[in-house]
A and B are shown apart, each in its own frame.
Chain A
Amino acid sequence: SAVISQKPSRDICQRGTSLTIQCQVDSQVTMMFWYRQQPGQSLTLIATANQGSEATYESGFVIDKFPISRPNLTFSTLTVSNLSPEDSSIYLCSAGGQPAGGGEQYFGPGTRLTVT
């Protein structure tokens, strides 16, 4: 299984600013994903981070609000832009998902974002 780290673990940001979250995997992985988990809710997929190409966004999520980078096979960033209190949530990075490997995904520890 992959070991995944995220930075920062938590942050408090002001409305209108942006936060960039970093995700580092200890081995090369094909697939990286970004999720949001609001309090008491399940996980919602924001986008799939593709190495060498633009991220693939799920319905309801747009690149202008959630720009994603994937410069190599071990690293990705998610930026949450123009923050509003509704963006307060936990943001999770995951890695894995290769169909040949069964599709397992492993999660980072998450980033807790509070927008004031």
Chain B
Amino acid sequence: QKEVEQNSGPLSVPEGAIASLNCTYSDRGSQSFFWYRQYSGKSPELIMSIYSNGDKEDGRFTAQLNKASQYVSLLIRDSQPSDSATYLCAVRTYNTDKLIFGTGTRLQVFP
């Protein structure tokens, strides 16, 4: 079983819609959760971090964490074509500095 799993996509949504990206993880000791956006040919850019159960909102982005279900998600409201990218979920487990990355979900927002 992979440690961090994401659907590879592509996830296609129309402009203005809500994009929902999902991630599951296997280690119950995981403490910190991150979403990175990676445009083609560019390096990953940190867009959200979440550490406790519930929702965390930042502009059009909302991260949701459910530790009991070992599930973290990213919602992008009012999706724009500029949001088209690969979104990487990353997890830091207890007492370590390392991040474990999922394989990423490719998001396509069409006009």
Contact = CB atoms under 8 A, between A and B. Distances in A.
Contact of A103 (B32, B42, B88, B103): B32
Given A104-B34, A107-B45, A42 B51 contact: no
Contacts of B9: none
B99 interface: yes
Contacts of B99: 45, 97, 103, 105
A41 interface: yes
Nearest to A35: B101
Given A41-B103, A42-B88, A104 B98 contact: no
B17 to A, nearest CB: 26
Contacts of B90: 105
A47 to B, nearest CB: 10
Contacts of A98: 97
Interface in A34-70: 41-43, 45, 48
Interface string B21-58: 00000000001101010000011111001010000000
Interface string A86-116: 0000001000011100111111111000000
Interface of A: 1, 31, 33, 41-43, 45, 48, 92, 97-99, 102-110
Interface of B: 31-32, 34, 36, 42-46, 49, 51, 88, 90, 92, 95, 97-99, 101-104
